[in-house]
Structure 1
Amino acid sequence: MTPAIGLIVLTAALLHALWNALVKGSGDKTVMLGCIALGHVFPGLVMAGLSPLPDLASVPFMIASIMVHWVYFYLLNTAYRLGDLSLIYPISRGLAPVLVAFGAQFWVGESLPVFAWFGIFCVSAGIMILSRSAFTGALPANALLAALGIGVIVASYTLIDGMGVRLSGHAMSYIGWLFTAKLVIVFYVFPTRWERVRAMPTRLLVMGMCGGLISGAAYALVLYAKSIAPLGMVSALRETSVIFAALIGVVWFGEGPKTQRLLSAVVVGAGIAAIAVTR
């Protein structure tokens, strides 16, 4: 992976941590997810309008991606209703890099060198350090299952979009139409929950749409990287968003335990270094 692509993916990871921090305190998570989806639609329309149509071979992958994202949102709502963000998020994101690397090996034919595998496992292990207490009773069983399910779903849409963007013939076009298709989610959430939308403070609604713009920028960067770099390596660097979020908590908000979070950051850092020097 080139330094430029690595920097793009790490920037996306930081943006992902940022928009999660923005929506962390929202009350109505379903409406907030609708606002985030709406924040994807605006840049999607612009990108789709400025790009040629994607190759028809990529359309089934777009449809599959939207369907998988429906399951993702459902599990996300379930998991965060039952368990803490600081435990759910690391579990769900920590599983994805290894699952994506194995999936890309078998379904896309990507063969990674041993050092890259070492980096991917380091990233996943470092992320999972943050949530080890969840496996010893800190999370209800249903919340833990939902978090593990999210990890599988994240790996699924990573592989689906990774293959779709490569078949599209134009990364910006695929990204634009994929984001525009989030209108399906917007039309489902807002009309069916209009009273709840009206009850939310304007500040939170604006925050949600801004979070959607940031989220869209983060995923667009990742999709671009997937079009030219191995999916497993991109996924591993992408999930460093968990570490950014943990370090933000330690440095800015004084959250703990500090030792566990800093150890996690060191392990993930070793994984990033291994991936960075892999060609």
Structure 2
Amino acid sequence: MHLAVYLPLLFPALAGLSAGPLARRLEPRLATWLLTAAGLVLAASSTAVLGLLALAGLVRIPLVAALKGYSPEVIDRQDPAAWPAALAGAVLLALAVLAAVRMAARRAGALWSAALEAACLPGPGPVVVIDDPGADAYAMPGLPGRIVISHGMLDALDAAGHEILLVHERAHLDHHHYAFVSLAQLSAAANPLLRPLADTVAYTVERWADEHAAHHTGDRRAVAETVARAAVAAKRGRGGRHLPAAALGVLGRRTAPGFVPRRVAALLAPPPQSPPLLLVAAAALLAASSLCALEAARDLHQFLELAHLR
């Protein structure tokens, strides 16, 4: 248990460092699915091993050992986890669970608020044009979701740009990009080492929508120009100040430096090809993390059975 229980705590750091390169090399839809799944698996594995460390320390408490019928002599001799490691595991487990619950509640509240706001927007159609001179455009999840575009954004783009903008925002709604972002943020809340991965998912969903628009129009350069013009217009007109928490839009995460330039550069380059070797390496990392957590659980189970037999 000693080695297996610590490796899943280190793998998220490797995943965080690898998220950016993976996003650049993989097709955006595949990258989004892979990174989101990786975040969930790694967060679950690390949380599980924290629980195992906490449990290994808990059974060393004499009162707990007596209540469960465990032999103190066997526990002291086998020493499944040192006291400092067990105590640290218990503290980190409590923090991880608390952070995950808080994030889940916040994201659920944001999605619910977005759905209510989308339902209250004027007009029956999926597209709502608001009278705002600032350039802004975003998709709001709901039943149904709505696309909000300001007059300022319409004025900043030509007819071809309007079509690209609508296709981009529809992609956010049709492919439920808000769900990927929410799950990635939940993983990062449970394990802060996954924060770079969650930030990368926020980027890959925008790249997914960009590539969807490029495929629909058949003109990658036109999509790149539209993204750039929208960003310049928003900066000039100070748009996007009231973007709902659950909304996604062509401007992406506006506080991230270099976010839009990276998307424009990717659109001006050939589409990514998703090298199979990267997929194999990512799958190996997830399999190793899961197997280590399972192995640690098996070792602890065997230890407790031995301690119970005295």
Normalised TM-score (structure 2): 0.29
Instruction: Compare relative contact order (CA 8 Å, sep 6+) and give the higher one, 1 or 2.
Output: 1
TM-score between both structures, scaled by the size of structure 1: 0.31
Say which structure is richer in strand: 2
Q: Which has the larger radius of gyration?
A: 2
Q: Which has the higher helix share?
A: 1
